[in-house]
Amino acid sequence: MDRDKKKNEIFQAALKVFARFGYQKTTVDDVASEAGMTKGNVYFYVSSKRDLYEKTVSSALQKWRDTVGEAVAQVDDVVEKFSIMASLSFEYLVGQEELRSILTMDQSIFSLTPREDRFYEINLGAMQLIKDILKQGIKEGRFWSVDVDPTAELLFSIYIMFLIKRYVKSEGVSAARMYEEGMTIILRGLCATPPACLA
Amino acid sequence: MDRDKKKNEIFQAALKVFARFGYQKTTVDDVASEAGMTKGNVYFYVSSKRDLYEKTVSSALQKWRDTVGEAVAQVDDVVEKFSIMASLSFEYLVGQEELRSILTMDQSIFSLTPREDRFYEINLGAMQLIKDILKQGIKEGRFWSVDVDPTAELLFSIYIMFLIKRYVKSEGVSAARMYEEGMTIILRGLCATPPACLA
Amino acid sequence: MDRDKKKNEIFQAALKVFARFGYQKTTVDDVASEAGMTKGNVYFYVSSKRDLYEKTVSSALQKWRDTVGEAVAQVDDVVEKFSIMASLSFEYLVGQEELRSILTMDQSIFSLTPREDRFYEINLGAMQLIKDILKQGIKEGRFWSVDVDPTAELLFSIYIMFLIKRYVKSEGVSAARMYEEGMTIILRGLCATPPACLA
Amino acid sequence: MDRDKKKNEIFQAALKVFARFGYQKTTVDDVASEAGMTKGNVYFYVSSKRDLYEKTVSSALQKWRDTVGEAVAQVDDVVEKFSIMASLSFEYLVGQEELRSILTMDQSIFSLTPREDRFYEINLGAMQLIKDILKQGIKEGRFWSVDVDPTAELLFSIYIMFLIKRYVKSEGVSAARMYEEGMTIILRGLCATPPACLA
DNA sequence: AATGAATGAGGCTTCATTCAT
DNA sequence: TATGAATGAAGCCTCATTCAT
């Protein structure tokens, strides 16, 4: 439909503005201007400012998860999967400064609580990706036999923190440097047989 | 002074309200009510809403860091130091639901950028604690010879994420469980001689 | 445009209220009420209270100057021009109690300083009118050969004072009386050849 | 009394601050600070902000009128009296930048209406000075037989305007220049026998 | 579909004034 | 006399939302 195209234009504009000013400081007028239309018209497509925000973020998260999920599905080796998941998520976000900015500002996006979590389903998808990798690794004897659920959640958190918080433009320390140190430490801690693991 | 006592009362009230509603959603009137005084009078002690917020957070961070720093200074073993730092920070925050909530909402508190960072000095103190422990561990041959600065910053981030993000009341997974798994993984990845390290 | 019409309605209402209470004592709400709209809507047309005030005054001054300028342009005799300028300015303001009141309260409107003078250009127009008359009078030998610039500024001041300050409603002395005496004295002092001048 | 000395200190401080910011923009706190005391204490000496303002201005006007009156009383020649009145008023104010500033901002000080005029009596004194000079000049045949009351009021106004409005610091044109042109024109228009008059 | 205009609720901040000590 | 603290009433401005056209 033509309507969906228009909506996407609005979400794109909204992403830009929300990323820059945050939810509260962003006015519906800002978004409308960025989208080249008027405030009144924006309300023709969304029901409220909150609705606009959530649809905007959901749309961006969806694209992100889809990109990563597809890439991971194309390899078999579990360590490789882990690496790809980590690095592609990283690389993807590197090119998505706006989404990064929003995630930084609004950590609640990853709250993982079913109730009142507007992004619950999307997050579940990402969590599942990690859990699958962990299970596979344990089953294949490549990973220590950790408790899958809390570990998945832990990794999800670190991964979020890793990919996002550290890459806020203004932070001084080299992102790559920290990324390397971090991945090494995590994998070293996760693998049952270091040599094989890091090979 | 009597004035400082009053200020502290205000900060305490402010912490409570900011924790509940966040900066933007909190009105100065909310804080005044909570403190049992009038809006006008609050402005007798702070110069603006922003000022109120920053002084409130600084005050809470200060107490936190002091508590942890003192405890760490009382032991010598580096692994023990690391553990105490991690666990005390954890335990301290467990009892500080309000501070936790604020830290979750306003990640920028830990931005670590000298310029325009209102909490820079306080953060530096926490970072220094970690760096000192890392240096000591490396010097004593207990830790791998990691690059101290980025690793400290990484740990600081994980530690923040760890202690805070995961313990938001509404999150379901057991904090203790994730804490154990996480500490094990990190230490295992950090120590040069696992057996000695985890002994 | 319809928008300009609305703006004019606002300016008219604002003139009324500013005239009555002065800038500081007037609230934007007062103006909105007088204009039969809401405060918020006023801000749709102006950007701030100050902006509202300046646009209001400018608009009124413009009308005044235009009225006088057109009338003066229609006669040739310089003494007649001077008289018309003086008397029409007078008569015009007689019917503009509101503008008079504002001018009385805010003398800075006539400050004649280019820098940061919001009414500079409008004032320049009035000054030019006087200068032209003086120059013509001198050239034709009807006026003494006074120094044009300071004299014009002097006359502008007296003229402002004359037309406005003296006619504040509450002042008791007859306006006409003072006007006559004043004009006679000024012209007598200005003309090179009294008989011809006052003929 | 000691109390009066303290009051004068306050008025002096108030004059300075009112001159700089105007009545509305001046806070009682500003005045108190300038006077080296606290807001609360100022209210021990005056009953309200308005009261403070009026007493401050009255005090300054009184000094001004006294100075001019005494000087005029010491000469006999009426033209000389006129000149002295004009020039001394001028010179006096030249040294009183603060009073000048206040008079510029608050023209209503010279409103000459008995009712609700807080400075009525003081103004009357100044008016009387002019009237006396006019009467003497007419009686001695030095001045045209003008109508004393409106002319006195006119001169009072011009004189106020002259002495004050023109000397606002920021105005560009030379004060002296305009003063000369103005005095010449006024006296020329006032004197019955020009030669004798300007001798 | 789109726009301009309008509304109204609130938020931050300032300050004259009062009062206990 | 003098102070610090407290109060409460406004005032300016913003903005999400609605609506007639």
The 10s digit of each residue's pLDDT in C143-160 is: 888 888 878 887 787 777
Residue D90 lies in a domain: yes
**At residue B34, what is the residue type?**
E
Give a three-class secondary structure readout of C56-68: HHHHHHHHHHHHH
Determine phi and psi for A81, rounding to 5 degrees: -55, -45
D30 CA, F3 C1': Å apart: 16
Q: Do A159 and A86 contact (CB within 8 A), yes or no?
A: yes
C106 shares contact with chain D (CB less than 8 Å): no
Over residues A57-78, mean pLDDT = 91
Q: Considering only CB atoms, which chain A residues are within 8 Å of B173?
A: 149-150, 153
Confidence band of D158 (pLDDT split at 50, 70, 90): confident
Nearest to B107 among A104, A147, A186 (CB): A104
Does residue B198 lie in a domain region? no
How many helical (H) and strand (E) elements, i.e. helices and strands, does chain D have? 10, 0
pLDDT value, residue D115: 55
What does the pLDDT read at residue A98? 92
Q: What is the pLDDT of residue B126?
A: 83
Closest-CA residue of chain A to B116: A170
The H or E element containing residue A145 is none
pLDDT in tens, D102-124: 887 787 787 666 556 678 888 88
Q: How far is the CA of B109 from the C1' of F7 (A)?
A: 34
- What is the number of domains present in chain C? 1
CA dihedral over C87, C89, C92, C94, signed as positive or negative: negative
pLDDT at C174 over 60: no
Domain-located, residue A106? yes
What integer pLDDT is reported at residue C11 of this predicted model?
97
- Weakest-pLDDT range from A182-196, B46-60, C6-20: A182-196
pLDDT at A172: 39
Average pLDDT over residues D53-76: 91
Whether residue D5 is predicted with pLDDT greater than 50 in this model: the reply is yes
pLDDT at A157: 73
What pLDDT score does B168 carry? Answer: 46
Q: Is A196 a residue whose pLDDT tops 60?
A: no
* Chain B contacts in chain A segment 64-93 (CB below 8 A): none
Instruction: Give strand pairing partners of A143.
Output: A191
C49 pLDDT tier (thresholds 50, 70, 90): very high
Residue A147: list chain B partners with CB under 8 A: 177, 181
Assess contact for B110 and B160: CB atoms under 8 A.
Answer: yes
Q: What's chain D's average pLDDT?
A: 82
CA atoms of D10 and D122, how far apart (whole Å)? 21
Lookup: nucleotide whose C1' is closest to A26 CA: F15
Task: Say how many CB pairs under 8 Å bridge A and B.
Answer: 90
- Check whether D70 has a pLDDT greater than 80: yes
Interchain pair C107, D165: CB under 8 A:
yes
For residues A170-186, give the mean pLDDT.
58
Lowest-confidence range among A64-68, D54-58, D150-154? D150-154
The pTM (predicted TM-score) of the whole model is 0.80
| Lowest-confidence region among A135-139, B112-116, C123-127 | B112-116
Query: Which is it for the CA torsion B131, B132, B134, B139, positive or negative?
Result: positive
Contact A111 B171 (CB under 8 A): yes
Q: How far is CA C37 from CA A181, C26, C53, C60, in A?
A: 64, 16, 17, 21
Per DSSP, D73 falls in state T
| C167 within a domain of the structure (yes/no) | yes
CA of C25 to C1' of F9 (A): 15
Domain that holds residue A132: 53-188
- Assess contact for B57 and B128: CB atoms under 8 A: no
- List the one residue out of C155, C154, C191, C136 whose CA is nearest residue D177: C154
Per-residue model confidence (pLDDT) at position A183? 66
pLDDT for position D174: 54
Confidence of residue D2 (pLDDT cuts 50, 70, 90): confident
Span between the terminal Cα atoms of chain B, in Å: 49
The reported pLDDT for the residue numbered C92 is 86
Residue pLDDT, tens place only, A129-170: 889 988 998 899 888 888 888 888 877 777 776 665 555 443
Q: Looking at residue B170, what is its pLDDT?
A: 40
Give the DSSP H or E segment for D55.
Answer: helix D49-72
Q: Does any CB of chain A come closer than 8 Å to the CB of residue B5?
A: no
As ranges, strand F nucleotides with an atom below 7 A of a protein CB are 1-20
Q: What is the mean pLDDT of residues C33-53?
A: 96
Q: Distance between CA atoms of C83 and C179, rounded to whole angstroms?
A: 11
- Smallest Cα distance from A55 to chain B, Å: 21
Examine residue C120 and state whether it is found in any structural domain, yes or no.
Answer: yes
pLDDT at C74 over 90: yes
Q: Which residues pair with B191 in a beta bridge?
A: B143
Distance between CA atoms of D74 and D67, rounded to whole angstroms? 12
Question: Which position has the higher pLDDT, C1 or C16?
Answer: C16
Q: Name the residue closest to the C1' of E18 by its CA.
A: D40
pLDDT class for C1, splitting at 50, 70, 90? low
- The residue ranking higher by pLDDT, D189 or B35, is B35
pLDDT of residue C173 exceeding 70, the answer is no
Tokens of C131: 């200068």
pLDDT digits (tens, 9 = 90+) for C85-122: 878 887 788 788 899 888 877 877 876 666 567 788 88
Q: What is the dihedral of CA D78, D84, D90, D93, to 10 degrees?
A: -120
- CATH code of the domain in which D184 resides: 1.10.357.10
d(CA B144, CA B9): 46
Across chain B, mean pLDDT equals 82
A165 burial (CB, 10 Å; 0-12 / 13-18 / 19+) is buried
A109 belongs to a structural domain = yes
% of chain B with per-residue pLDDT over 90: 38
Asked if the structure places residue A10 within a domain, the reply is no
Assigned domain for A23 exists: no
**pLDDT confidence band for C35 (50 / 70 / 90):** very high
- Distance, in Å, from the CA atom of A49 to the CA atom of A42, rounded to the nearest integer, reads 9
Alpha carbon of B10 to those of B15, B28, B32, B50, C182: distances in Å? 8, 11, 8, 14, 66
Model confidence at D6, in pLDDT bands (50, 70, 90)?
Answer: very high
- The 10s digit of each residue's pLDDT in D42-63 is 999 999 999 999 999 999 998 9
Tell me, yes or no, if C181 comes closer than 8 A to chain D by beta carbon. yes
**How confident is the prediction for chain C on average, in pLDDT?**
82
Q: Mean pLDDT across the stretch A88-105?
A: 83
